[in-house]
Structure 1
Amino acid sequence: MQTEKVIEHIVNWLRDYAINANIKGFVIGVSGGIDSAVTSTLCARTGLELLCVEMPIHQGESQVTRADGHINWLMDNYANVKRQPVNLTPVFDSLVAALPKVADEEKRFMSLANTRARLRMTTLYYFAALNGYLVAGTGNKVEDFGIGFYTKYGDGGVDLSPIADLVKTEVYELGSVLGVNQDIMETPPTDGLWGDHRTDEDQIGASYPELEWAMQVDKEGKSIDDFSDRKKEVFAIYKKFNSANKHKMIPIPICEIPDSLKSAS
C-alpha cells in the first residue's frame, strides 16, 4: 500500500466533503484504540476544526489513559484540535436504574453494552449540532462490511467513514506513518463496551489478520469445504458473523406498497 498517498487521499476527501457541505469541521469519540486514533489524526490533518470527545462509561483506566495521551499528542501537534471530556457513567447508571429488570441476565448484559455505544452516539451528535460539525466514524472495512462488529445506531451512527475501505492491518500501517502513540499501536483492539479487559479477538474468536483472509477468500467465492483445521474454523467464524449481522450492512428494509393498492378501488 502507498501509505503516504492513501493518507493524503483521505485527508483531501475529508476536507473537500466538509467544505462542500458548508461544515466547519469534525467531532469524533476518542476511545484509546487504533481506529479512533488514526481517524482523529486524519481529521486533524485537514486543518479544519476537530473536537475530540472522551466519553468514559465505567471505562478501564488504561483505555482512559491511552485516549487522554492521544488527544494531548494531537493538541501538541495540531492547533485546530480541541478536547471535550463528558463523563457518561452517571447517565448510563441512571438509565439502567430506570429500566425494568429482566430474567435473562446475559441478554440484558449484551443490550446494555450496545446502550453504551448509543449514548456515545447521542453525545457526539449533540456536539455536532452545537458546532456545525460532522460526526466522523471510526469503523474499518472488516468491522463495517465483513463481520458487522459494531453497534447499530451506536458507533455505526455517523456522517462519514474515512477508514471504512481499509482493513485493520492497513489501519495500523497508517497509524505507524502518522506517528500514533506506541501504547495504542501495541494494545490489542477492544470495543470497550464491557467494563473489563476482553479484546475483540476474545469476543470474535479470530484475529483481524485471520478475518481479513476469510473476507478475501469469501469474496473469491470459496466455501468452507475448501479449507481444513484452523482455516476452516476461521472461515466458519467469519461466515457466522457475516450472516448474523447482515442487517447492519444493508439498507433499512422498506415495505413497498403495490400501486394497485394505493389506487382507488
Structure 2
Amino acid sequence: MKIYLMGGLGNNIFQVLATLDSEHKAFYTSFLQQRNAITRFLGWTIHENVIEQLFDLDVVQPSGFYLSEALDVLMLSCSKILGCKVLSRNYTNRTPSIKETTSSTVLGGYMHPVSPEQFNVLSTKRHFFKASLERVDQIGVHIRRGDLGDNSALGLLESETFNNVVKKEASSSGYPVLVYTNDKDWCERNLTFDYKFSQTSSGFNPVVSDFIGLASSATLICSNSTFSYTAAMLGCNEKVLVPSPFFKSESIYVPSNWIPFLAEYE
C-alpha cells in the first residue's frame, strides 16, 4: 500500500495514523513534497517532510522523475471525480475501515473534514508517537500564516477576537502564554496580550518542536488549522479552545469537551 504524503505535518500525521497499523505494509513516499515536474505543474506548496521525527517509519524520497509516480498522481487527481475505490484522493470517509484496503491501494489527499467516527479512531493511536508528552503549565497559542490571509475556504480569524480569547484565558488560569507561529512579524504587529515566542527544542525540527509544544500545553488555543487540530486530538491538554466554525466552507468535528469561540470571519 503506497501513501503519498501531502501537505504539512498536520495532514501527514493524519495520513500516517490512518495507515500505519494496516494489515498491509504501508509504503510512504515524499514525492509530492518535493520540487519536481509534477509539483511545479500543480503549483504545489512545498512542505518539509519531518514526519519521521514523530513516528518510527521510513519515508522514501525519490531522487528523480518516475513514470509510476506520474501515473499515480494522475489517477489520484481523477479519482475524486470518478469515485474510484482503489485510488482515493480524499480518503477520510474510509478511515474507520482502512484495514479493508488491499496491498495495491494508493492513497493521497487531505484529511479534513474529520467526522466523529474518524476522530475516535485516529485519537486512539497516540501511543505510536516516538516521544512521550508531558503536560506543561502554559497556554499554547497557534497562529499560522496561512490562516491570516484572505482565504475563502478557511476564512480569517479577526485579530481582536483572538486577542480577547487569549486575554480572558490568561487572566483566569494564570499560565504564561507561548505563541507558536511561522509569522512573528504579524504577531508583533497584531497581538495585544503578553506572550513569548516558543523556542525550538534541541534535536527536533522547528515544526515538530512546535507540534510537541502545542500538544503538551495545559491549555491549547487553536487556529483554524489541521496542525493545531491534530495537536489537540493527540495531546495531553487539560483545556482546548477552538474557533467555531472551524473552517468557513467546511464542517469539522469538535469534541464536546473542547470549548468553541466565535470566529467572526472578515
TM-score (norm. length: structure 2): 0.32
TM-score (norm. length: structure 1): 0.32
Select the structure that is richer in strand.
2
Q: For the pair shown, which has the larger CA radius of gyration, 1 or 2?
A: 1
